[in-house]
């Protein structure tokens, strides 16, 4: 089991919060080559660490923050993948997030951080190269993410440190609480915030001073430079430089007919002119912000001047936050949408799940199933931004009857409320879905229904893109740098960088086999938890209600579409008719260790 030669340090930092101890887990070059890093390495570590039915909020439940081989090199690799068993869905989940945090982990000489245990008192970590400090965080506990980040930076005393932390939502163990990185980026779709809150871990700060070992610097860096050029020059991505993802709000309304609106009742929302990128550029944005080395700088920050929200400084909108907390709530005014987005960031909530929950509740109100009386007097009607802002705060604190109810998420809410509300309970595998209506944009169907974690937009639209994205999330590359712009050249662009970086001789075939191994292992985890064909579906609304208006008027995601999607994915990855990986597939991918579990699942 040789140590890695380049791209990796060959060690993962293991934190035991119960005993305030740290240790180092060695990982061989072979294992990295098989699982790459990020979500792939996370699946490998968690599959063996956990048994079927393990309580996501148990003391020994791990959170893995995984980097990839390209982080910290001259490649534009900015993301990390946060992997844990989600307390929201009970399934293996991963969330990718950018910024500088991932690269600082690498420069500190680690390939990832594996956190287990539970502290008795609020604590934070400061990782400076090989040194790890446990710092009392009692004074920071309870503060929103804005104030917390300032306090954490002051506490660690290193202005170059980068911080990931939780807000009140995480502290109160809201099952869709996010991990907030560098104030406004979120690893959100995993319920990681709740795990950290449960572990009493408020924040992790990291600072590294080393360099990533590289086997052939000249060759690797040249390939990375070429890849970066490709990302900058490719037509279509210039729009992201200018508008971030916000202009998808207009695009999905006018063009693809997939802008989610009023809890997925329609995709046509003319008020989008007041919420989208053009409005933001004209009245709000002050600055572009980028992750490490990234020429795309998709993140925008701005300030509202005039009107009710005068003085509001916030980041966004992105397509997801603007969709879920804008058109989805039937909002018509920019300031109100930004107030919701900023509230979700400040509280440390997953803006997608939170938006889904609010939209669902608003529809319950619309249909007379819930009223202000049931909601602590909050008038949660479509279009009422103030009510939405107030409710986001209540969710984060599980405040009152309404806060407790909404903090449960759409699936559990509708089970509790009943009264036919399942019809508009939009989730897959228990997770609220992202901002692309799959009736207008059919390619999103597989991402929501077949993607590992359910309801995510970052998983890919057909079997091959599912595989592609498994690699992108393991290599921890951003969609807007490597995911889309390098699309046609995948896997060549990656292999050209990886081989000289790591001293490998990876071929195209090996690349795709690795992708299949990662997805299949993730699938094994979910199958062990009970996921089968009958869970690989889209919410009922998409298969029964036609889009009432807009460019894709009349579109519906048919049962036939669903069946085809399932069959093609199972066939491509070598899973049986119920979506369980076959023995032959497991053997060919070197996953024999999962065979007994899969055989048991087949009998169950």
Partner 1 sequence: MKKDDENVGKALDKETTRRGFLKGAGAAAGFVVATTAIGGIRPPLAQAQQPKPVMKYLFVERQNCTGCRACEYACSMAHEGVVRPAASRIHVRKYKGIVDVPVICHHCDDAPCIAACPLDPPAIRKDPETNGIILDSETCLGSNCLRCQEACPAQFIRVHPDTGTPLMCDMCGGDPECVKACAQQATDPLAPCLWAGAGGAGVNMSFRKVTPDQAAKDLINQMYYPNTDGKRR
Residue 132: strand pairing partners: 127
Q: Which of 314, 255, 235 is nearest to 280 (CA)?
A: 314
Tell me how far, at minimum, the Cβ of 573 lies from partner 1, in Å: 36
Task: Please give, one letter per residue, the 3-state secondary structure of 429-449.
Answer: CCEECCCECCCCCCCHHHHHH
Q: CB neighbours (10 Å) of residue 151?
A: 19
Among 51, 120, 121, 218, binds partner 1 (CB under 8 A): 218
Tell me how far, at minimum, the Cβ of 75 lies from partner 1, in Å: 9
Distance CA 317, CA 300 (A): 8
Buried b (16+ CB within 10 A) or exposed e, 241-255: eebbbbbbbbbbbbe
Name which of residues 324 to 353 contact partner 1 (CB under 8 A). 339, 342, 346
Tell me how far, at minimum, the Cβ of 166 lies from partner 1, in Å: 16
- Decide if residue 569 touches partner 1 (CB under 8 A): no
Among 27, 33, 61, 73, binds partner 1 (CB under 8 A): 73
Handedness of CA 444, 450, 456, 460 (dihedral sign): negative
- Decide if residue 6 touches partner 1 (CB under 8 A): yes
Stretch of residues binding partner 1 (CB under 8 A), selected from 23-31, 72-80, 135-143, 575-583: 72-80
Closer Cβ to partner 1, 253 or 393, answer by number: 393
- Decide if residue 159 touches partner 1 (CB under 8 A): yes
- Decide if residue 234 touches partner 1 (CB under 8 A): no
Residue 63: strand pairing partners: 115
Distance CA 519, CA 30 (A): 18
Query: How many residues make contact with partner 1 (CB under 8 A)?
Result: 60
Closer Cβ to partner 1, 63 or 338, answer by number: 338
DSSP reduced 3-state for 537: coil
- Decide if residue 289 touches partner 1 (CB under 8 A): yes
Stretch of residues binding partner 1 (CB under 8 A), selected from 251-259, 282-290, 379-387, 582-590: 282-290
Closer Cβ to partner 1, 292 or 476, answer by number: 292
- Decide if residue 215 touches partner 1 (CB under 8 A): yes
Cis geometry, peptide bond prior to residue 490 (ω within 30 degrees of 0) = no
As a dihedral over the C-alpha atoms of residue 286, residue 292, residue 298, residue 302, rounded to 10 degrees, the angle is: -20
- Decide if residue 213 touches partner 1 (CB under 8 A): yes
Tell me how far, at minimum, the Cβ of 23 lies from partner 1, in Å: 20
265: Cα separation from own chain's centroid: 25
Among 86, 116, 192, 214, binds partner 1 (CB under 8 A): 214
Residue 133: strand pairing partners: 126
Distance CA 584, CA 586 (A): 5
Tell me how far, at minimum, the Cβ of 49 lies from partner 1, in Å: 28
Tokens describing residue 354: 């939170």
- Decide if residue 3 touches partner 1 (CB under 8 A): no
Q: CB neighbours (10 Å) of residue 599?
A: 13
Which residues contact partner 1 by CB under 8 A? 5-6, 9, 72-74, 100, 107, 109, 146, 149-150, 159-160, 182-184, 207-218, 221-222, 225, 228, 232, 241-242, 286-295, 297, 301-303, 305, 309, 311-315, 339, 342, 346
């Amino acid at each position: 089991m040789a140590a890695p030669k380049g791209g990796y340090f060959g060690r993962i930092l293991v934190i035991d919060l119960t005993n305030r101890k740290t240790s180092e887990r060695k990982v061989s070059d072979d294992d990295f080559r098989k699982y790459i890093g990020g979500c792939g390495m996370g699946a490998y570590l968690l599959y063996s660490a956990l048994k079927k039915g393990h309580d996501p909020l148990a003391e020994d439940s791990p959170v893995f923050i995984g980097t990839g081989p390209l982080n910290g090199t001259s490649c534009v690799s900015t993301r990390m993948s946060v992997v844990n068993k989600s307390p929201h869905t009970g399934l293996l989940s991963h969330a990718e997030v950018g910024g500088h945090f991932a690269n600082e982990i690498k420069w500190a000489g680690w390939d990832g951080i594996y956190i287990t245990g539970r502290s008795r008192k609020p604590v934070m970590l400061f990782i400076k190269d090989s040194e790890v400090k446990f710092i009392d965080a009692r004074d920071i506990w309870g503060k929103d993410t804005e104030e917390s980040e300032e306090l954490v930076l002051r506490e660690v005393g290193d202005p170059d440190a980068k911080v990931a932390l939780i807000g009140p939502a995480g502290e109160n163990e809201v099952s869709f609480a996010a991990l907030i990185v560098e104030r406004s980026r979120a690893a959100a779709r995993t319920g990681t915030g709740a795990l950290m809150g449960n572990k009493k871990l408020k924040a992790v700060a990291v600072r590294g001073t080393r360099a990533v070992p590289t086997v052939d610097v000249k060759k690797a860096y040249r390939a990375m430079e070429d890849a970066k050029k490709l990302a900058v020059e490719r037509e279509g991505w210039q729009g992201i430089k200018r508008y971030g993802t916000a202009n998808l709000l207009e695009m999905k309304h006018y063009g693809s007919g997939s802008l989610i609106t009023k809890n997925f009742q329609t995709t046509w929302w003319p008020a989008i002119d007041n919420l989208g990128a053009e409005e933001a550029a004209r009245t709000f944005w002050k600055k572009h912000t980028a992750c490490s080395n990234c020429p795309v700088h998709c993140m925008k920050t701005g300030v509202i001047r005039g009107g009710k929200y005068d003085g509001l400084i916030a980041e966004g909108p992105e397509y997801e936050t603007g969709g879920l907390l804008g058109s989805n709530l039937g909002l018509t005014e920019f300031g109100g949408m930004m107030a919701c987005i900023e509230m979700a960031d400040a509280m440390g909530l997953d803006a997608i799940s939170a938006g889904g929950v609010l939209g669902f509740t608003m529809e319950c109100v619309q249909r007379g199933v819930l009223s202000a009386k049931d909601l602590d007097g909050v008038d949660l009607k479509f279009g009422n931004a103030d009510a939405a802002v107030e409710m986001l705060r209540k969710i984060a604190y599980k405040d009152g009857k309404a806060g407790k109810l909404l903090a449960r998420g759409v699936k559990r809410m509708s089970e509790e409320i009943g009264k036919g509300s399942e019809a508009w309970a939009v989730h897959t595998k228990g997770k609220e879905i992202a901002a692309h209506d799959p009736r207008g944009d059919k390619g999103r169907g597989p991402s929501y229904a077949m993607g590992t974690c359910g309801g995510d937009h970052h998983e890919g639209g057909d079997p091959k893109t599912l595989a592609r994205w498994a690699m992108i999330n393991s290599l921890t590359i951003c969609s807007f740098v490597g995911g889309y712009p390098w699309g046609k050249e995948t896997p060549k662009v990656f292999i050209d960088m990886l081989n000289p970086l790591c001293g490998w001789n990876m071929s195209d075939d090996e690349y795709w086999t690795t992708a299949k191994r990662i997805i299949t292992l993730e699938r094994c985890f979910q199958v062990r938890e009970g996921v089968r064909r009958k869970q690989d579906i889209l919410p009922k609304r998409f298969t029964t209600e036609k889009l009432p208006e807009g460019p894709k008027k009349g579109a519906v995601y048919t049962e036939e579409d669903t069946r085809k999607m399932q069959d093609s994915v199972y066939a491509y990855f070598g899973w049986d008719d119920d979506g369980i990986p076959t023995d032959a597939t497991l053997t060919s991918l070197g996953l024999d260790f999962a065979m007994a579990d899969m055989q048991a699942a087949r009998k169950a």
